[in-house]
Structure 1
Amino acid sequence: MNLKHASYIMAILEAGSITAAAKKLLISQPSLSQTVKAVEDELGLLIFDRHAKRLTLTYAGQRYVESMREIMTAERNLLSEIAEMKNDHRATLRIGISAQRSISLLPQILPAFLARYPLVTVELKELPSVRLEELLSKGGCDVAFITTASKQNDLEYRLLENEQIVLMASKQTAISRRIGQGTEIELSEAREENFVNLTSGHSVRTIQNHLAQLCQFEPRVLLELFNMEAAKLVTAQLNAVMVCPYGYIQGDTRVETLTKCYPLRCHGFERHFYFCYRKKLRLSSYMRDLFDIARSKCQYHTM
């Protein structure tokens, strides 16, 4: 089995077509098509279903990709162990992180990490946490900083930071005039307010949906935004409320002076911040140190 061929097959799967993958890999489309044919000839079976609009794997293709990911992980583990034996830390570390977290965390951890490991090349992949979990599972990055409420069985989650979920309410709202700052509440206390929502798929939105269902009401949505930073700034200026981790509010004078915050009774629906990697990945010394540096910079944000 050819590992380079396997990496090309995975690139096609991620891109959705041979043409798109060829552009990303900077090779010709006919050359990439020949690679697919070579793999299929070796297996004696088709690996892609070419009848769908977007290329999908056949059962044989799924087994091939699963097996090759295991082989590639084993190879990476071996090379990492050999490099440590030689005390040689020349490597490329692919780190996944959300755009929101990268703003606050990367300036705190990368200078210390790169000073300790100047021969490690860092490649950043900025994606929403749910996409990062998928990318990790597929071997698209080595480690990731993920904020999530759920966990995948094939990934390891090492806790960096607990999060407290709050309702942030503009001082223009009725709830802010009715209830004192810092009071723990049920989400139903805001049933008459306008909500600024994060888009579906965001873990905070998932928690909000669970709590609203538990409290048996449908939030009245004023706006829906993808970016949490934009959502909190808009909420502070409007007659509106927003479900948000307290850590994203604490110390931000742009919103603290215009809002009140109320810890939410989450009834087990929580999310936390983790350092994640595939369970079968051997953590190198520089990966372990990255975790230690990040953990030293994280803290529990609570009211």
Structure 2
Amino acid sequence: MKKVSFAEFGGPDVLQLIDAEEPHAGPGQIRIAVRAAGVNPVDWRVREGQVLKAHPIELPAGVGLDASGVVDEVGEGVEDVKVGDHVFGEGSSTYAEFAVLSAWARMPEGLTFEEAAGYPSVVETALRVIRQVGVRPGQRLLVSGASGGVGSAVLQIARERGITVTGMAGAANQDYLRSLGALATTYGEGWVDRVRQLGHVDAALDLAGSSVIRELVELTGDPRKVISIADLGAPELGVLFSGVAGSVPEALAEAVRLISRGKLHIPVERSYTLAEAAKAHIDSQAGHTRGRRVMVV
């Protein structure tokens, strides 16, 4: 099978499309014929060797956590899906023609494979950081990096829970944020004053790593009311860096519930082939995403 792999840590150029042996499902796992794989910032952080404590790997290694596809192998003890089912979920080395998943759910009706591949990690992350930051219905949440995958999920989940959101993104994504129910503002000089004009901030999330931690602490008045998933230096300012996943099966179940009720939709901004993995990582690192980027197999 074809698989994206890297044999050394480094830039996007270390990614190679290789011929590899097919993986097989162990107990409590399933294997899918991959139709699409989500492109997440953690993918290139792993490729660069930034997050070895949270994601220890041995080289050479595959790339990718999220995927959607067709079940073609069911491991011992798995009873909730069968060969031929369409699923999305999380596993390892998902930039490949076949991948093993350790957490999955059946795809909601009407969702394409490309769309489905964009949900697993971002919904888990969104649910986790909303819980960790302790924001409650009726309060206001500030989200930096609000137009990306996690931001798109945060905005919609928060809205569904009665939380008011102010979203920060580039000028081109202001209308997109408003379409998700958020108040919107841009980065750049004077952004702190612009945020204050939109209302008091009870809690804040840094999803983009745009060197805004000090200002977010200033706006909330408490470093414990700020969470980052993108700035590795956040703990130096007393802010939690949230990098350890919670329950992925629970997140997938919540994603299915919200999608089925029309409460959650994350658009696919761009698709790439496996041979374009390096380009996908370059674009992901550049940011300014509206929704998700995915690999199509």
The alignment's TM-score, normalised by the length of structure 2, stands at 0.30
Structure having the higher strand fraction is 2
The alignment's TM-score, normalised by the length of structure 1, stands at 0.30
